[in-house]
Chains A and B, each alone.
Chain A
Amino acid sequence: MACKSPEAIKHEQYVIAGAELYAKHCSNCHGNEGQGLGKLYPPIKGSDFLENKNKVICIIKNGSNGTVVVNGVSYEGKMPKNKKLFDLDIAQITTFIYDKWSGEKITTQTEEVTRIKCD
């Protein structure tokens, strides 16, 4: 058994916690597999929106009121801001999303979420 680095352990913890938070707060609309729902709710899996992580963090943090374009499709309607989510929760959700649908092993840090500048 190889010992895991503290970073890898933290990443794993964030992914597990993030998965639970995703199931509770995000999957109703975006689907268990991140597939979205028709043109009502955008997918996360395979979404070009993931190319800009700051935008992802901001939309989870502040919600969205206008049109969002994902893979060339416009999605209207609002995504509510969830006041119950702390910056740590948002860091964990973001880490989970990128781990699951981008295969990225970089952990999103709570401080990043706290300090981020959103328009």
Chain B
Amino acid sequence: MKKLLFTITILTGLSISIWSCGDSNRTLPYLGQNTIGPNGDTIYHQIPDFTFVNQDGDTLTQEFFKGKIYIADFFFTTCPTICPIMKTQMLRIHEKFENEPGLRILSHTIDPRHDSVAVLKKYKDKLGVKDNQWQFVTGEQEKIYEIAQKSYMVSALEDSTAVEEGGFVHSGAFVLVDQNRRIRGVYDGTKEIEVNKLIKDIELLLKK
């Protein structure tokens, strides 16, 4: 009898731990520097307002992402190293959520001198992206670097000594932003396994 009880206890324990690992109870963290508001409530780090120009020459602001979740990344079209891998992975996400109105993708160029509106348009077309879900933007280089580093918390900078990287140093991160402009995850966009995790997290955020 004792043995049976013991077994039951173990089994119950196991099933509880399996249950609590289930996706339904999983929540994503809020990343970034949080502050305490006047009422003592936590104010989470938020992506501030921004204004960029997209591949069609239209102005693109935070309004386009209002009430949506989105993934942000930083790249440049002539990047010989990690960008093609990032774009292969982002394309997977785009294709998986193609008809999902609650998700958008925002790719910023970190080489606006070269990546004009026309260059971005061509790049988007050649990648085979036909709809509006995935936006490619350019703008003032300083503004792009600032929002990358201060808001999305990823590195992006020009470095002429980084010859093999094409003259720029930047992270291959995909940043997951929720419906309230808060960062809920940062993933290595060059690794399939990390992007699989991102896909799961997108599904989780979309449910809420």
Contact = CB atoms under 8 A, between A and B. Distances in A.
Interface string A13-55: 0000000000000001101000001111100000000000000
Interface stretch (B51-59, B78-86, B195-203): B78-86
B13 to A, nearest CB: 41
Interface footprint category on B = 10 to 19
Contact of A39 (B84, B87, B126): B126
B108 to A, nearest CB: 18
A40 B123 contact: yes
A37 B127 CA distance: 7
B128 A31 contact: no
Interface SS, A side: loop
Given A38-B91, A40-B123, A28 B128 contact: no
Contacts of A31: 88
B196 to A, nearest CB: 15
B164 to A, nearest CB: 10
A38 B81 contact: no
A80 B81 CA distance: 11
Contact of A40 (B80, B81, B82, B84): B84
Nearest to A27: B85
B88 A37 contact: yes
B47 to A, nearest CB: 28
A40 B88 CA distance: 11
Nearest to A28: B84
Interface string B150-177: 0000000000000000000000000000
A28 B87 CA distance: 10
A38 B126 contact: yes
B49 to A, nearest CB: 32
Contacts of B88: 31, 37
A40 B127 contact: yes
B168 to A, nearest CB: 15
Interface in A56-96: 80
A99 to B, nearest CB: 23
A38 B85 contact: no
B128 A38 contact: yes
A38 B128 CA distance: 6
Interface in B79-114: 80-82, 84-85, 87-88, 91
13 contacts: A28-B82, A28-B85, A29-B80, A31-B88, A37-B84, A37-B87, A37-B88, A38-B126, A38-B128, A39-B127, A39-B128, A40-B127, A41-B84
> Sorted from nearest, which 3 A-B pairs have the closest CB atoms?
A39-B126, A38-B127, A38-B128
